[in-house]
Amino acid sequence: MSLPDQDPARAQERARHRLPRRTVLAVIGLGLLAGGCFTPLYAERTPNTGVSTQLANVDVKAIEGRVGQQVRNALIFELGGGAGSSPLAPYRLEVDLTENTQSMTVDPTTGRATVELITLNATFRLQDVTEDRVVLKDRAFAQASIDRGAQIYARDRAKRDAENRAAKEVASRIRERLAAYFTAPTPPPPPSPADKTAGKKFGTH
């Protein structure tokens, strides 16, 4: 028994909507090429020029206070994985830190604060040592809460833990800002006085 003949009109319609094999292969090839164009933020296109290398070339100067030391230690780990950087690094990072403690809730019976909020504010400057100029100035802040108990030693420990958490958060935000700076395209240098004189001479603006 033979199969029934297909409708010629329907067969022609399906053939018209079917993509040629070469077209399908071309689309797949373009998709693979486009996927290969993706570059992670911290990937190095050429040796010693990626963002990770630039971050590792930042020397973090000492920061005053116990919390300042915590911020510096966290920054050294964030920027170079804990290896630190040479004092002869091409970039130098200076951080000024202030701390503020605010009572959020108070026990109405004792009048003591039961929950406090610690805020760390950091003002930092990135200096290009080779050109002896500041290339980036910005701020970062972080907050951590304290659930204060009745025992004095427990309160002190809770405060230190909150300060350490805030210090790590500040270091992480500074790192993100530095990474954004090293990722951004380098702006063109300002025109020299000779270029401005030439522009006036030839009537350019």
Determine the structural domain holding residue 164 and report its residue range.
Answer: 51-183
Whether the full predicted model's pTM is greater than 0.85, yes or no, is no
Least confident segment among 30-34, 36-40, 62-66: 36-40
Residues 59/87, Cβ–Cβ less than 8 Å: yes
Determine, yes or no, domain membership for 40: no
58-60 β-sheet, strand order: 58-60, 91-106, 113-128, 133-147
Rg (CA), the chain: 30
| pLDDT tens digits along 101-140 | 887 676 667 666 678 899 999 999 999 999 999 999 999 9
The whole-number pLDDT of residue 21 equals 55
Residue 123 sits in a domain whose CATH number is: 3.30.160.150
How many domains does the chain divide into? 1
